[in-house]
């Protein structure tokens, strides 16, 4: 595809008065890229936003059909002149996500951008039928040789289903951005769908869901009539719409607060060597402590319960360490297991990979926290900066969390 820049460009990287747009084309089809977001800089909304793309043969496409206000910090990709298995999409003000369903009955999933009306402009053709019974609020008009579909509210199951003159079915699925961020492609026996869940997921032949702190799982598929079922037939579940709920629902994540003992307070951080040269950059950068400097760290002993030393296929254990300091190290019997450069967020440590060392030491851990220098040249995410009265090295809590695992399979219904 060929890249194209707009007629009006920002004067430079710091020029925030112009939205960042570009296009990529292959013949008359392609994608419009829009970016009204620049990290750490507030971007304004853009009134009367509309783009015309010149195409070969003195043709052009203008989208959206009417000017809109481009929201602050919005970014997206819109398609134009796109073939949808026999449907010709002139353009859409929604971002393509995935091709789902089956080869005989595809479902094209799109993502609606917040505060931007989604519209689909589709070339009319003889015998084309539209079933919009699932799309509450949709406005459909026919003019200029096209179907103009507007005002469809995005949702996890609402579809626009077209039937071509050949009898082939092609559907459009419009989902919310927050649902797209929790969606995963899953396939079984020639059927592809989106698995929607707030759990952590990995996909291979099955879908493996993990939940840190609760054995309550929820998931559903969006595009087809397939069913979700636990791989383990012993798992109890109940069906909900196009998905399931499994496990024992809990309102609050279960955690175990571990007892810790401080064995040494922190000393002042070591001074930088007189000949220390941070870098050739104009600004100062952080310096890591030497091994000798670690004698200044605060240390804590953390005994683990015996239950945390043995995992099961459905339960694994993690430590959540909340502390302040520069760098933290976790060790057992003098052997370094893991370390963490502080960013003022809890440190999460999986224990499964350290099972042999933990078993050998009887579950005895040592936590070392090197003190943070005053006014450190370190970037912290907004809202996580150290407070002026924060101790240079301190431990707030160490919690033991259980991560639960559930394996799911997609079962396709027989036609």
From first to last of the 415 residues of the chain, give the pLDDT tens digit.
899 999 989 888 888 888 899 999 999 999 999 999 988 888 899 999 999 999 999 999 999 999 999 999 999 999 999 999 999 999 999 999 999 999 999 999 999 999 999 999 999 999 999 998 777 788 999 999 999 999 888 887 778 999 999 999 999 999 999 999 999 999 999 999 999 999 999 999 899 999 998 888 999 999 988 889 999 988 888 887 777 788 754 444 578 999 999 999 999 998 876 666 655 555 556 678 889 999 999 999 999 999 888 888 888 999 999 999 999 999 999 999 999 999 989 999 999 999 999 999 999 999 999 999 887 777 788 888 888 888 999 999 999 999 999 999 999 876 5
Supply 379's token pair: 């970037």
The residue ranges of DSSP E strands in 117-260, in sequence order, are 119-123, 129-131, 139-143, 146-150, 159-163, 169-176, 183-188, 191-196, 200-203, 207-212, 217-221, 227-230, 237-240, 243-246, 255-257
Distances, alpha carbon 331 to alpha carbons 80, 164, 335, in Å: 56, 65, 5
Q: Looking at residue 278, what is its pLDDT?
A: 58
φ, ψ at 334 (rounded to 5°)? 80, 5
Torsion of CA 292, 293, 295, 300, to 10 degrees: -130
Any idea which fold 255-270+292-373+391-402 has? Jelly Rolls (2.60.120)
Measured CA to CA, the distance from residue 256 to residue 279 in angstroms comes to 44
Distances, alpha carbon 409 to alpha carbons 5, 356, 367, in Å: 45, 32, 41
- DSSP assignment letter at 247: S
Beta 29-35 vs 364-370: how paired, if at all?
unpaired
Q: Looking at residue 307, what is its pLDDT?
A: 86
- Contact by Cβ (8 Å): 243, 220: yes
* Closest C-alpha among 138, 128, 121 to residue 61: 121
Domain boundaries, the chain: 2-181, 195-253+405-411, 255-270+292-373+391-402
Distances, alpha carbon 301 to alpha carbons 156, 267, 305, in Å: 48, 18, 13
Beta 183-188 vs 119-123: how paired, if at all?
unpaired
Q: Looking at residue 158, what is its pLDDT?
A: 77
Beta 169-176 vs 106-112: how paired, if at all?
parallel
3-state class (DSSP) for residue 134: coil
H/E element, 358: helix 355-361
Measured CA to CA, the distance from residue 42 to residue 46 in angstroms comes to 13
* Closest C-alpha among 14, 28, 21, 140 to residue 70: 21
Q: Looking at residue 24, what is its pLDDT?
A: 96
Spacing of C-alpha 1 from chain mean position: 27
- Contact by Cβ (8 Å): 398, 302: yes
* Closest C-alpha among 407, 394, 382, 393 to residue 42: 382
Measured CA to CA, the distance from residue 111 to residue 85 in angstroms comes to 19
Residue indicated by tokens 């010149």? 54
Q: Domain 2-181 is of which CATH architecture?
A: 3-layer Sandwich (2.102)
Q: Looking at residue 40, what is its pLDDT?
A: 81
H/E element, 180: helix 177-180
- Judge whether 2-181 and 255-270+292-373+391-402 match in fold: no
């Amino acid at each position: 595809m060929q890249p194209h820049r707009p007629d009006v460009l920002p004067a430079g990287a710091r020029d925030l008065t112009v939205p960042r747009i570009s296009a990529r084309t292959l013949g008359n089809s392609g994608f419009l890229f829009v970016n009204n977001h620049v990290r750490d800089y507030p971007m304004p909304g853009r009134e009367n936003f509309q783009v015309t793309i010149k195409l070969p043969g003195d043709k052009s496409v203008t989208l959206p059909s009417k000017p809109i206000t481009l929201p602050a910090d919005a970014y997206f990709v819109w398609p134009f002149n796109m073939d949808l298995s026999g449907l010709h999409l002139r353009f859409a003000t929604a971002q393509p996500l995935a091709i789902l369903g089956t080869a005989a009955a595809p479902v094209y999933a799109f993502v609606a951008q917040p505060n931007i009306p989604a519209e689909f402009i589709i070339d009319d053709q003889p015998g084309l039928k539209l079933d919009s019974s699932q799309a509450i609020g949709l406005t459909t008009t026919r003019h200029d040789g096209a179907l103009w579909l507007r005002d469809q509210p995005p949702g996890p199951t609402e579809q626009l289903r077209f039937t071509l003159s050949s009898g082939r079915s092609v559907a459009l699925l419009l989902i919310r951005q927050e649902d797209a961020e929790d969606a995963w492609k899953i396939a079984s026996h020639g059927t592809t769908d989106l698995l929607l869940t707030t759990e952590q997921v990995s996909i291979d032949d099955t879908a493996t869901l993990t939940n840190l702190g609760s054995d309550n799982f929820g998931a559903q598929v969006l595009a087809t009539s397939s069913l979700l079922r636990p791989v383990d037939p012993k798992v109890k579940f109940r069906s909900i719409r196009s998905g399931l709920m499994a496990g024992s629902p809990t309102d609050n994540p279960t955690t175990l607060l571990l007892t810790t003992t401080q064995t040494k307070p922190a000393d002042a951080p070591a001074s930088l060597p007189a000949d220390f040269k941070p870098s050739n950059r104009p600004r100062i950068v952080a310096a890591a402590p030497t091994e000798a400097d670690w004698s200044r760290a605060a240390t804590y002993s953390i005994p683990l319960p015996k239950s945390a030393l043995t995992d099961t296929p459905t339960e694994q254990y993690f430590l959540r360490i909340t502390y302040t300091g520069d760098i933290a190290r976790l060790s057992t019997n003098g052997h370094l297991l893991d370390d963490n450069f502080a960013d003022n967020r809890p440190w999460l440590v999986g224990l499964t990979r350290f099972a042999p060392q933990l078993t050998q030491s009887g579950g005895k851990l040592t936590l070392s926290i090197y003190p943070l220098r005053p006014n450190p040249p370190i970037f912290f995410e907004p809202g996580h900066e150290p407070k002026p009265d924060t101790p240079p090295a301190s431990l707030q809590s160490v919690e033991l969390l259980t991560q639960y695992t559930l394996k799911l399979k997609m079962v396709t219904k027989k036609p």
